Amino acid sequence: MSLVSSLRKALGPAAGCSSSSAPGQCHACPLDLRGIRSQPWWLSSWQLGAASGGGARGGRGAPARSSTTLRASEYDNNPALYTAEDAFSLASYWDARYRREGGVPFEWYRDYGSLEPLLDRHLDKQLAVLHVGVGTSRIQYHMHLDGFRSIVNVDYAPACIQQLSALHADVPGLSYEVADCRSMPQFADGSFAGGVLDKGTLDALLCGESDEADSLAMLRECHRLLPPGASYLMVTHSPPRSRLRYLQRPGLDWDVAFYEQGQQGAREGPVRVEGCAELDAYPKMSYSHFIYVCTRRA
62-85 per-position pLDDT tens digit: 333 333 334 444 443 333 344 454
Asked if 11 and 61 sit in the same domain, the reply is yes
> What's the chain's average pLDDT?
79
**pLDDT tens per residue, range 14-23:** 333 333 322 2
Asked if 14 and 147 sit in the same domain, the reply is no
At residue 263 the predicted structure's pLDDT band, cuts being 50, 70 and 90, is confident
| Whether residue 13 has pLDDT greater than 90 | no
Is 197 part of a structural domain of the chain? yes
Asked if 66 and 193 sit in the same domain, the reply is no
Domain span including residue 72: 3-88
Which of these three, 56, 88, 120, is where a domain ends? 88
Residue 168 belongs to domain with CATH number: 3.40.50.150
Is 84 part of a structural domain of the chain? yes
Whole-number pLDDT of residue 86: 54
Asked if 61 and 188 sit in the same domain, the reply is no
| pLDDT over 70, % of the chain | 71
Is 93 part of a structural domain of the chain? no
Asked if 157 and 281 sit in the same domain, the reply is yes
Q: Going by C-beta distance under 8 Å and a sequence separation of 6 or more, which residues neighbour residue 233? A: 118, 119, 122, 123, 195, 196, 197, 198, 291, 292, 293, 294
Burial call 92-126: b when 16+ CB within 10 Å, e when fewer: ebbbebbeebeeebbbbbbbbebbeebbeebbbbe
The number of domains in the chain is 2
